[in-house]
Amino acid sequence: MPAHPGLSIRGAQEEDPPDPQLMRLDNMLLAEGVAGPEKGGGSAAAAAAAAASGGAADNSIEHSDYRAKLTQIRQIYHTELEKYEQACNEFTTHVMNLLREQSRTRPISPKEIERMVGIIHRKFSSIQMQLKQSTCEAVMILRSRFLDARRKRRNFSKQATEILNEYFYSHLSNPYPSEEAKEELAKKCSITVSQVSNWFGNKRIRYKKNIGKFQEEANLYAAKTAVNAAHAAAAAVQNSQANSPTTPNSGFQMKDEEFQLDSAESKNTLLSNMFTGGYPAPCYQSDGRIQ
């Protein structure tokens, strides 16, 4: 920019009071890693997305997808911002040149120049604000897509479901795993503890609602557990270790309440299984409590 006494655009730029809305937008863009220095494509936001989705390791593809899209937004934002700044400077220079031309034919006060530059900058600021606003919106949409866990729900692996079902049906009298048991199950199933809690919450309520429907499944897992128990017993006999007698489960109880086996058929089958060996024996914890 050519030096010209009294014709500087700096003054007007610095006198503008900070717009609170613009500051909010700037802060958000900074926090999301769109504005400011490159932070690995908004790794903070990606980490937030990971935390919100349960932290499972199975969504690394989604994360890289998220980062890629955020980088895209960042690139577009910076390109557009540069374009606006360049256009603003060019236009200001152009106006300054015109004023300089005019100053040959009429006196132009510094105040008038300042006013003109101010008008130009305000106009470009409002355009910049629109750009920042739409960038924020794009980031919000992107985040909502990746943060909404329901959108990227994945069914658990067959093995994980088997492990959970085995535990559920072998603890049918009290299907409330302790915190330690939940952690153990989570580890075995490669899911989070809260996912284990969710699974048991869903299972308990769905089992209770329709015991008949789950009868086949219950029998299947009961048989499975019985086979496992038989193998364990055989191993124990081999080791000449006497087993203490077990007591059959008294029935499914919801928390603090006797669980109603409202289907007589279900109850009969379950009871029949319990006493014919098809139904699993209660599982004792290390402290002797029935789980």
3-class secondary structure, 38: coil
Among positions 220-259, residues that touch DNA (CB under 7 A) are: 254-255
- Contact map string, positions 154 to 173, toward DNA, x by CB under 7 A: xxx----x------------
Close Cβ partners of 137 (under 8 Å, ≥ 6 residues apart): none
Contact flag: residue 176 with DNA (CB under 7 A): yes
Near DNA by CB under 7 A: residue from 152, 188, 224, 267 = 152
Contact flag: residue 149 with DNA (CB under 7 A): yes
CB 228 to DNA: min, Å? 22
CB 153 to DNA: min, Å? 5
Helix (H) / strand (E) element for 132: namely: helix 110-147
Contact flag: residue 65 with DNA (CB under 7 A): no
Among positions 29-58, residues that touch DNA (CB under 7 A) are: 52-54
Stretch that binds DNA, among 70-78, 147-155, 226-234, 275-283 (CB under 7 A): 147-155
CA dihedral for 106, 112, 114, 120, sign (positive or negative): negative
Specify the residue, 14 or 257, whose C-beta has the smaller distance to DNA.
Answer: 257
Residue among 83, 4, 80 nearest 35 (CA) = 80
DSSP conformation class of 284: B
Contact flag: residue 78 with DNA (CB under 7 A): no
**Buried b / exposed e across 2-23, counting CB within 10 Å, b at 16+?**
eeeeebbbeebeeeeeeeeebe
Q: How far apart are CA 21 and CA 33, in angstroms?
A: 18
Q: How far apart are CA 197 and CA 202, in angstroms?
A: 9
Number of residues that bind DNA (CB under 7 A): 30
Contact flag: residue 204 with DNA (CB under 7 A): yes
Q: How far apart are CA 133 and CA 24, in angstroms?
A: 10
Contact flag: residue 197 with DNA (CB under 7 A): yes
CB 211 to DNA: min, Å? 12
Residue among 54, 49, 36 nearest 140 (CA) = 49
- Tell me if 189 sits within 8 A of 156, measured CB to CB: yes
CB 61 to DNA: min, Å? 12
Q: Give me the residues that bind DNA (CB under 7 A), please.
A: 52-54, 148-156, 161, 176, 179, 194-195, 197-199, 201-202, 204-206, 208-209, 213, 254-255
